Structure 1
Amino acid sequence: MDDAGLTERLTIRRARADDLSACADLYVRVLVETFTWLPADRHRREDFLRAARDEEIYLAERAGRLVGVAGFYRPQNFLHSLYVTERGHGVGKALLNHVARAADGPLSLKVQAANRRAQAFYAREGFTCAERGRDPGSDIDWLRLVRG
């Protein structure tokens, strides 16, 4: 089956309160699988759930299965999180485009400097680096990317 066929059956919608637990589980699972440069115990569902209080959470489903989640902080047009289980099948792009349509200005995000795969994805989607930094008290370097 081609990517276009997979994407056609993808549903994206705003998460309801009863979806957030499953979204938090997906968040942790994807972080543990892909952020291999960090200890697995550093990824906690509580972090996602705390951020979700102030964000719009969107989810992607295919055939009734949760396959992606995005957290959008509207006051800053900031994509706080984008995690998918089916990488390479258009899920991330579909969630990103959905959030970009919801934004009322240029979309920005932070990506960890070690996350080369995500940087390549965002570059393909038209994002450019606007800033480099490290949060106070953190040991993780990040890039702030913007798509105007």
Structure 2
Amino acid sequence: MIVRRAEPDEIDACARLYERVLRETFTWAPPSGRAAADFRAAATLEEVYVARDDERLLGFASLYRPDSFLHSLYVLARGRGVGKALLDHVTQVADGRLTLKCEIPNTRAQAFYLREGFRVVEEGCDPGMAVGWRRMSR
């Protein structure tokens, strides 16, 4: 597996993976609110990193560098070390400090981040959102 900065022509594949994973795992949210276009819009302001195995995209992470904010981390198959490899890579390029927000129903992701040394530092709910979030920091 190789983790590296995404090439411009890989952003569409990341956007499709984003939409697929959200629709499959974020079962508490309506699918209409999870579109590939949302990822493409955010990616214009972020650094996107990909995990690849030969020619396959295994996952990606996006970093909003001004705030050392991990905006996205999505993988096709969990439990194979892809998420950890992406998180380790982003941690290294961000000089170690990272924050992120996790929707409260996303207990699997929260457990992963807690295992990786993050801690919950804030909880809230954005206006118009059906579920709250937890801000985590490491």
Class of the TM-score when normalised by the shorter of the 2 chains = over 0.9
User: What code does the residue aligned with 1:11 have?
Assistant: I
Once residues 108 and 8 of structure 2 are traced to their aligned partners in structure 1, the CA distance between those partners, rounded to angstroms, is 31
Cα shift at 1:86: 1.6
5+ residue gaps, structure 1: 1-9
Q: Percent identity?
A: 55
Once residues 17 and 136 of structure 1 are traced to their aligned partners in structure 2, the CA distance between those partners, rounded to angstroms, is 33
5+ residue gaps, structure 2: none
Cα shift at 1:138: 2.0
Partner of 2:53: 62
Partner of 1:84: 75
Does residue 117 of the first structure (1) align with residue 124 of the second (2)? no
User: What code does the residue aligned with 2:121 have?
Assistant: A
TM-score (norm 2): 0.97
1:1-148 counterparts in 2 under 5 A? 10-147=1-138
Count the aligned residue pairs. Answer: 138
Once residues 20 and 102 of structure 2 are traced to their aligned partners in structure 1, the CA distance between those partners, rounded to angstroms, is 18
- Cα-Cα RMSD: 0.9
- Residue by residue over 1:103-123, the C-alpha shift from the partner in whole angstroms, topping out at 9 and shown as x without a partner, is 135210000000000010001
The 1:93–1:105 alpha-carbon spacing in structure 2 relative to 1, beyond 3 Å, is closer
Q: Secondary structure at the match of 1:47?
A: helix
User: What code does the residue aligned with 1:30 have?
Assistant: V
